[in-house]
Amino acid sequence: MRTEIPFNLPFMAGKELRHIREAVTQGQLSGDGPFTKRCHEWLERQLGCHRALLTHSCTGALEMAALLAEVGPGDEVVMPSFTFVSTANAFVLRGAVPVFVDIRRDTLNLDETLLPAAITKRTRVIVPVHYAGQACEMDAIMDVAARHRLLVVEDAAQALLSTYKGRQLGTIGHLGCVSFHETKNIISGEGGALLINARRFGERAEIIREKGTNRSNYFRGKVDKYTWVGVGSSYLPGELIAAFLFAQFEKADVILSVRTRIFRRYMDRLEELQDRGVVRLPQAAPGCVANGHLFHIVTRSLAERTRLIDYLGRRGIGSAFHYVPLDSSPAGRKFGRTAGAMTVTNTISARLLRLPMFYRMTDDDVDRVASEVIKFYARA
C-alpha cells in the first residue's frame, strides 16, 4: 500500500509533556520562570551570544530589533525581496521603508555586491536572511555595515545551529532573530528568540520585552521600584511554551544530524537530474555548515513546477513553494521600494519547489520522493 508523505510533520522530542507538567506543578505560568531561564542559558551556551531572550515568535524578535534600532519614518532598511513578510513588516510598523535587493543565484541569499548601490543617507539597517539555513556572505555584509555605520539584524529564522566560518548564524550581526515555529527545525508551536550580540542593547531589550518596564532589574534587586521606563510591549512567551521548547533543545544534536542526513540523501539521489541540466539543487554557501532546514529544487519554468506539484500530489507526496517577492506584493509596493532589478528573485519565486523534509522521514521516504521526481522528468 502506498503511504502518504506529507510536506511537513512537527517533531516531538519526547519530554515535552513531562516538562509542561513540571512547569504546571511549579505553579509559575507567566514568562521568565525556570524553563525560560534554562532555554536562555542553553541558547547562550550553544550559540555563544551575549544574551538570548525568548520571544513569542521570530516576528516578535524582529519587531524588538526594529525598536532597538530606533528606526522611524523615512529611515531605510535594506533586505532581500525573497523572504517572509515578517522581515519587512517589523520595520514597516515603525514607519521605516524596506529597500528590496535581489538575491544570489547560488545561495538564494541577499546579493551582497548590490548593497553599496542600495545604501543612501537614510539607510539605517541591513537585514540578511539566511535562506534554508545557508549563510549570507556575512564578512562582506559586516564590512559594508561598518563602513556606513549601519546595524545588522540577522533574520536567522531558518538558521538555528548553522555556522558560518565556525560562528553560529544569528550571532554575527548586532542582533539576530530565530524562530521556533512548528515549520522550523526546533519548535514550540509558535516561538522565537532575540539574540543580542552587541552588549549595548541588553538592558533596553529587557525593557522592551517586558512592556516597557524595568521588571527584570527590579527582580535582580538592582532598582527598588517596578515602573514604566520606556517604550515596549509584551514579547515574552509563557512558561508552558518554554517547557516544551526545552525538551526540543535537549534533542538538538539528533534533530540536526537527522535533518542533514535527509538533506544529503536528497542531494545524492537527485544529482543525476542536475547533471542532466533539468533541475538545480541547493548550493552550499561558502564557509557554511548548514542545518538541513529545508530541501528545494529549482525547476525550469512555472508551468513545469505546477505540473510537478500536481504529479507529486496525485502520488500522495506533499510539496510547497514560496515566496511571493515582497517588492511585488500589495503591501510591499505600498511601503517599500526596490534597489535595482529583481531578476533572480522573480525567477526563483516562480520555479522553486520545496520537497518533504521532516525529522521522521525515513531513507525509504526520501528515496520514494526522489524517484517520483526522477520519473516525472523521464516523461517531461
DSSP state of 341: -
Query: Which of 11, 52, 59, 214 is the binder for ligand PLP (CB under 6 A)?
Result: 59
Strands 163-164 and 167-168: antiparallel
CB-based contacts of 44-50 (< 8 A; 24+ apart in sequence): 46/161, 46/168, 46/249, 46/252, 47/168, 47/170, 47/171, 47/195, 48/167, 48/168, 48/171, 49/168, 49/170, 49/171, 49/176, 49/195, 49/196, 49/197, 50/196, 50/197, 50/198, 50/199, 50/202
Widest CA span of the chain, in angstroms?
74
Window 176-205: contact mask with ligand PLP (x via CB under 6 A): ---x-x----------x-------------
| Smallest separation (angstroms) from ligand PLP to the CB of 162 | 13
Nearer to ligand PLP, 57 or 214 (CB): 57
| Smallest separation (angstroms) from ligand PLP to the CB of 323 | 9
Site size toward ligand PLP, by CB under 6 A: 14
- Residues with Cβ < 8 Å from 42, sequence gap 6 or more? 246, 249
Nearer to ligand PLP, 59 or 291 (CB): 59
Nearer to ligand PLP, 325 or 372 (CB): 325
Return the CA Rg of the chain: 21
Query: Which of 52, 64, 82, 86 is the binder for ligand PLP (CB under 6 A)?
Result: 86
- Does residue 83 touch ligand PLP according to CB under 6 A? yes
3-class SS string, 152-186 = EEEECCCCCCCEECCEECCCCCCEEEEECCCCCCC
| Smallest separation (angstroms) from ligand PLP to the CB of 104 | 16
Nearer to ligand PLP, 103 or 370 (CB): 103
Nearer to ligand PLP, 151 or 194 (CB): 194
Cell representation of residue 75: 529611515
Coil, strand, or helix at residue 213? strand
| Smallest separation (angstroms) from ligand PLP to the CB of 128 | 10
Task: Give, rounded to a whole angstrom, the gap between the first and last alpha carbons of the chain.
Answer: 26
- Does residue 345 touch ligand PLP according to CB under 6 A? no
| Smallest separation (angstroms) from ligand PLP to the CB of 155 | 5
Contact segment (CB under 6 A) with ligand PLP among 4-12, 81-89, 97-105, 331-339 equals: 81-89
Distance, in Å, from the CA atom of 126 to the CA atom of 137, rounded to the nearest integer, reads 13
Window 150-179: contact mask with ligand PLP (x via CB under 6 A): -----x-xx--------------------x
| Smallest separation (angstroms) from ligand PLP to the CB of 58 | 3
Coil, strand, or helix at residue 280? strand
Query: Which of 5, 51, 78, 87 is the binder for ligand PLP (CB under 6 A)?
Result: 87
| Smallest separation (angstroms) from ligand PLP to the CB of 86 | 4
Nearer to ligand PLP, 108 or 297 (CB): 108
Distance, in Å, from the CA atom of 230 to the CA atom of 232, rounded to the nearest integer, reads 6
Nearer to ligand PLP, 179 or 185 (CB): 179
User: Which run of H or E residues covers position 371?
Assistant: helix 363-379
| Smallest separation (angstroms) from ligand PLP to the CB of 150 | 20
| Smallest separation (angstroms) from ligand PLP to the CB of 303 | 27
Task: Give the residues lining the site for ligand PLP (CB under 6 A).
Answer: 57-59, 83-84, 86-87, 129, 155, 157-158, 179, 181, 192
